[in-house]
Amino acid sequence: MLPGGRRDPWRALVSEFMLQQTQVARVAARFDAMLARFPSPAAMAAAPVEDVLSLWAGLGYYRRARSLHAAASQIVARFDGRVPSDTDDLLSLPGVGRYTAGAIASIAFGLPRPLVDGNVARVLQRLHARPGSASEPGVMRWAWKQAGLLISAAQARRVPPAQVNEGLMELGATVCTPSSPRCGECPLSTACLARATGRQDRIPRPKARAARAELTLRCAVLFDTRGRVLLHKRPSGGLWSGLWQPPTHQALPPALASLPVVGEVTRLLTHRRVVMEVRRGRKPRSWRAPAGSVWVAPPDLATLGIGSAHRAVLDLALNAPMGTPRPRRR
Contacts of 170 (CB under 8 A, 6+ apart): none
The number of beta carbons lying within 10 Å of the beta carbon of residue 129 is 16
CA distance 64 to 19: 10
Counting contacts by CB under 6 A, is residue 127 touching ligand SF4?
Answer: yes
Q: How far is the CB of 205 from ligand SF4 (least distance, A)?
A: 14
Binding of ligand SF4 at residue 181 (CB under 6 A)? yes
* Closest separation in Å from C-beta 243 to ligand SF4: 40
Cβ proximity to ligand SF4: between 185 and 214 the closer is 185
Residue 2's nearest CA partner among 111, 95, 26 is 26
Residue 3: CB minimum distance to ligand SF4, A: 23
| The residue type at 212 | R
Q: Which stretch binds ligand SF4 (CB under 6 A): 5-13, 110-118, 153-161, 187-195?
A: 187-195
272: which strand partners? 213
**Nearer to ligand SF4 (CB atom), residue 113 or residue 195:** 195
Q: How far apart are CA 24 and CA 31, in angstroms?
A: 10
Q: Pick the closer one to ligand SF4 by CB: 11 or 122.
A: 122
Q: Which of 80, 170 has the CB closer to ligand SF4?
A: 170
129: contact with ligand SF4 by CB under 6 A: no
User: Taking the mean position of all CA atoms in its chain, how far away is CA 260?
Assistant: 34
Within 10 A of 145 (CB to CB), how many other CB atoms are there? 13
Q: Does 183 bind ligand SF4 (CB under 6 A)?
A: yes
- Residue 286: enclosing H or E segment and its boundaries? none
Q: Is 16 a catalytic residue?
A: yes
Does 126 sit near ligand SF4 (CB under 6 A)? yes
The closest of 130, 120, 119, 118 to 193, measured between CA atoms, is: 130
Q: Residue 166 CB, nearest distance to ligand SF4 (Å)?
A: 16
130 interacts with ligand SF4 by CB under 6 A:
no
Rounded to an integer, what distance in angstroms lies between the CA atom of residue 305 and that of residue 242?
Answer: 9
Kindly state the smallest distance separating residue 156's Cβ from ligand SF4, in Å. Answer: 22
Q: Minimal CA–CA distance to 68: which of 115, 114, 12? A: 12
Q: How far is the CB of 186 from ligand SF4 (least distance, A)?
A: 3
From 25-33, 119-127, 162-170, 222-230, span contacting ligand SF4 (CB under 6 A): 119-127
18 is an interface residue for ligand SF4 by CB under 6 A: no
Instruction: Tell me the per-residue interface mask from 188 to 207 with ligand SF4, x by CB under 6 A, - otherwise.
Output: xx--x-xx----x-------
Q: How far is CA 40 from CA 88, 225, 265, in A?
A: 21, 43, 37
DSSP 183: G
Residue 70 binding ligand SF4, by CB under 6 A: no
Return the number of the residue (13 or 123) whose C-beta is nearest ligand SF4.
Answer: 123
Q: What is the DSSP string of 262-276?
A: EEEEEEE-SSEEEEE
Residues contacting residue 42 through CB under 8 Å, at least 6 positions apart: 72, 76, 81
Q: Does 165 sit near ligand SF4 (CB under 6 A)?
A: no
Please report, as ranges, the residues that interact with ligand SF4 according to CB under 6 A: 123, 126-127, 175-176, 181, 183, 186, 188-189, 192, 194-195, 200
Catalytic sites, residue numbers:
16
